[in-house]
Amino acid sequence: MIFLISFICFLASILVTPVVIKLAKLINAVDLPNGRKVHRKATPLLGGLSIYLGFIIGILWFHPENHFIWPIIIGATVIVLTGMIDDMIQLKPRWKFVGQSIAAISVISGGLFIEFINLPFETIWELGFLGIPLTYLWIVAITNAINLIDGLDGLAAGVSIIVLTAISIISIMAGNFFISLLTLILISSTLGFLFFNFHPAKIFMGDTGSLFLGFMISVISILGFKSITLFTLIVPIILLAVPLSDSIFAIIRRIVHKKSIVTPDKSHLHHCLMKIGFTHKGTVLLIYGLSAFFAVCAMLLTKSTFMGGFIITLIIIITIELTVEIVGLINGNYRPMLNFISRFKRIGKSQYFSKQNKDWFKH
């Protein structure tokens, strides 16, 4: 059954993508090179339509019984239409935000929202009405986070597959068939598209794909982590550490440089890695590796004790901070942890040579 689902969605995505390439060229939904972008030739957009159609085919074929399925499909359709319009005519940020809001509200109005947060020491925080705005903010934030990392061939698709795979494993361990099926359908559909999207890409997913994947990951994470008894919200946050941290530091960077937070720039994680010498493909694979590291940490966290969870979280924070400083994600002068390590090394060396000199005089 699992292999059949995977094969049908994967095959559907592969067969649809060449048609989408022709459609994108026909309606001039093409991404042209400019100073802010990495690619050097005009490339068709709308690739996310292949992922969406693979997803819809999978859902309609296997028709999982769950009362949330139609609100999710309606929200996904709204977000895909928003992305398609943006790929064709480049919507202003506020109109993209309107589309994201409608998609989020369609899911929330269907009854899917965060009702409580599990805290350490078996404490539950009942959110009540606060769960609705929190769910809305979560959906919009994750949708935009995936959208922002879509800057290199295969990057957003690969990171999304890694995140979805981790969610799928966690849901299988928890015995949640519905979440497992949703993630499997999305993974297979995205893999079929990635066949055409990995470097050198024949088609980009565009906002059609990045908004759709971000929306689906946000919704599935809400569905999947209601039953986890420890660090409920921390688990999906860690899973999405790469896109979320890139988005957060992009906002910080723009505030530091006194720019609008919606102003695009060429200082995202993938841009910074390429600036320090990594190739296009090497940058993508390195970010895949980072995403896989955070995914493993998130899976370990779901089974860890409080102290184990604290240690894992600390390691993650240190990893993110060192990455930010090494690649210059805020700016080249922001290096507090690296400066501390450097100073510690100098003190250690001076103490070592001082001891050596004392030993020499004794002799």
Distance from C-alpha of 224 to C-alpha of 176, rounded to nearest angstrom: 8
CA dihedral of residues 225, 147, 289, 270 (deg, nearest 10): -150
Q: Is 66 annotated as a binding residue?
A: no
Task: Kindly tell me the sign of the dihedral angle through the C-alpha atoms of 125, 126, 128, 133.
Answer: positive
Q: Is 339 annotated as a binding residue?
A: no
Residue written as tokens 């994680």? Answer: 269
Distance from C-alpha of 198 to C-alpha of 153, rounded to nearest angstrom: 5
The answer to whether the beta carbons of residues 71 and 112 sit under 8 Å apart is: yes
Task: Kindly tell me the sign of the dihedral angle through the C-alpha atoms of 347, 351, 357, 360.
Answer: negative
CA distances in angstroms from 279 to 36, 38, 188, 257, listed in the order given: 17, 11, 27, 27
Distance from C-alpha of 270 to C-alpha of 234, rounded to nearest angstrom: 24
Distance from C-alpha of 32 to C-alpha of 39, rounded to nearest angstrom: 8
What is the maximum span of the chain, computed from C-alpha positions, in angstroms? 85
Task: Kindly tell me the sign of the dihedral angle through the C-alpha atoms of 23, 146, 299, 315.
Answer: positive
H or E stretch at 126: strand 123-126
Q: Residues marked as binding?
A: 147, 207
Q: Residues marked as binding for Mg(2+)?
A: 147, 207
